A and B are shown apart, each in its own frame.
Chain A
Amino acid sequence: MAFIEIAGVDLRYGGQPGADDGAGTLALANASLTVGRNEFVSIVGPSGCGKSTMLKLISGLVRATRGGVRVAGEEVRKPLKTVGMAFQNSTLLPWRNVRDNVLLPLEIVEPYRSQPKSEMAAKRKRADDLLATVGLGDFGDRMPWQLSGGMQQRAQLCRALIHEPAILLLDEPFGALDAFTREELWDVLQNLWLHTPCTVILVTHELREAVYLSDLVHVVSPRPGRVIASNAVPIARPRTLGMTFQPDFVDLVHACRHHVSAGNAT
């Protein structure tokens, strides 16, 4: 059964909320998408096609103008609490050190929120352990601006995962990084996911990134966006960077590129 289900959704920005009167910009038109539990899927497509909007729909940050979004069988009406999110820009709070940034969700989400102060040491340990898995073990006390872009994104991933969310939403998390750092972080993300499985939806421009990380790559048409093709990636895990030069990998990337171009042409 589908864990996340977007069914026939229209989404219009700038119009009257709830009124389908044709005003504003139509971001999504009759978009549908289903994601199974603990699946890793990517959404690719030209810029401005409504990829990020799909993430906002799933997380409950925006409501559909028409159609419905269901997560675990429940209609999404307000922001979900079982979501972790990471963005392209570093959204670490500049006044907190890295560890306290990672701990932020535990100050908001139950049951951690109402736990007594005595749990604090355990939580800090947990944050440090998680930071260590992404290679930031010694950086808990640093301030965000003392970290490089790639390190900030690692810390952001930790913050998105510390409360063990059922769904991880990634909005071009590696988009602003150089190619080498990006590829390093693919492995970081893959390892995190293999270690503690959750449902991941990754929005990206990078087709190689999408194929490398995903079980399924969904291609979205130009605005108003809808899913026009879905490519399964039957490559065994854990995947390594060496595989990205194998013919089957390259063919999959080409197939995705073909779908994106075909979407642009129509």
Chain B
Amino acid sequence: MKRSTVERLAPWITTLALLMLWQLSIMAFHVESFVLPTPIEAIEQIYTNRYPLMVHGLATLGTTLLGFAFAVVFGLMLGILVGSFRLAYVSLYPILIGFNSVPKAAIIPVLVIWFGVGTVPAVIAAFLLSFFPVVVNVSTGFATIEPELLDVLRVLGATRRDMIVKIGIPRSLPFFFASLKIAITLSFVGTVIAEIIAGNNGIGNLMLIASSNFNVPLVFAALLVVGVMGVGMYAIFAALETRFTSWSVRGAGLGVEYAAGG
């Protein structure tokens, strides 16, 4: 087989192998399905509950994307601010680190007191979990600009705005796209946690109801759906990354072929 074919098939084969390992170990150790279902049972549940899973899955996807969109806009602005002004960096970074160390699950009950049960706390949770990597990456992109690059513009009498637009932003794009791939997966985590704690729809809510009915196979079916949505969004942003920052990827780094995540 050609090398590119192998690479295209590798993720599928690995996934399939892990599912088989899961299936075989449950058969070998006679685990009850209300403790841990087999993947086949979980996939059966996806089929039988396809309509509720689709409705709740789309709700979760919508909530996640909304929170993620806020995170991208806010994270980008804050990252540029923190990355280009020393004073902003010094004064904001400790707060950001401290804030990100707080477990977000602990904040959700407070959000419920403020905004009630439903979509709003889930959007906020998705936002809170995912903006931090965007800020850190974008500000790193800005803070690591080679001083000579800035000197080139500075001797021409460029304004700070010129330097941000002509150098800072394009220079940080690879960092930005890398952070999007992390942020989108964290967004899903935030949404599902909020839905479990305080949702009235969404995959998390469906999982909560399923587990209180001891329908563990359905819980796993829901987890698989979230996982697939996460991989799908990741692939989209990985493709955008290759499209917009091809200049930063010249070829195999460290002997590892560059994979677009697909």
Residues of A with Cβ closer than 8 Å to B?
59-61, 78-81, 83-85, 87, 89, 91, 93-96, 104-105, 107-109, 143, 145, 159, 163, 169
Contacts and interface: CB of A to CB of B under 8 A. Distances in A.
Contacts of A163: 156
Given A91-B149, A93-B170, A108-B162, A59 B247 contact: no
A190 to B, nearest CB: 23
Interface in B143-174: 146, 148-149, 151-158, 162, 166-167, 170-171, 173
A25 B16 CA distance: 64
A107 B170 CA distance: 15
A82 to B, nearest CB: 9
B250 interface: yes
A169 B148 contact: no
A80 B155 contact: yes
Tell me if B's interface is mostly helix, strand, loop or mixed: helix
B157 A80 contact: yes
Contacts of A94: 247-248
A211 to B, nearest CB: 27
Contacts of A80: 155, 157
Contacts of B248: 94-95
A59 B149 contact: no
B167 A93 contact: yes
Contacts of B250: 145
24 contacts: A60-B155, A61-B151, A61-B155, A79-B155, A79-B156, A80-B155, A81-B156, A83-B155, A83-B156, A85-B155, A87-B148, A87-B151, A89-B148, A91-B149, A91-B151, A93-B149, A95-B170, A105-B156, A107-B166, A108-B153, A108-B158, A108-B162, A159-B152, A163-B156
B79 to A, nearest CB: 18
A45 B149 CA distance: 25
Interface residues of B, number: 21
A79 B149 contact: no
Interface string B217-260: 00000000000000000000000000001011010000000000
Contacts of B173: 95
A95 B167 CA distance: 9
A99 to B, nearest CB: 15
The residue in B153, B157, B170, B171 that gathers the most chain A C-beta atoms within 10 A of its C-beta is B157
Given A93-B166, A143-B247, 18 more contacts: A79-B154, A79-B157, A80-B155, A80-B157, A81-B156, A81-B157, A87-B152, A89-B148, A94-B248, A95-B245, A107-B166, A108-B153, A108-B158, A108-B162, A108-B166, A145-B247, A159-B152, A169-B155
9 residue pairs, one from A and one from B, having the closest CB atoms: A81-B157, A108-B156, A95-B247, A59-B155, A95-B170, A91-B148, A85-B155, A83-B155, A108-B158
A95 B177 CA distance: 15
Contacts of A89: 148
A61 B154 contact: yes
A159 B149 CA distance: 13
The listed residue with most A CB atoms (<10 A of its CB), out of B149, B156, B247, is B156
A61 B247 CA distance: 29
Contact of B152 (A60, A85, A109): A85
A109 B156 contact: yes
> Which of A91, A159, A169 has the largest count of B CB atoms less than 10 A from its CB?
A91
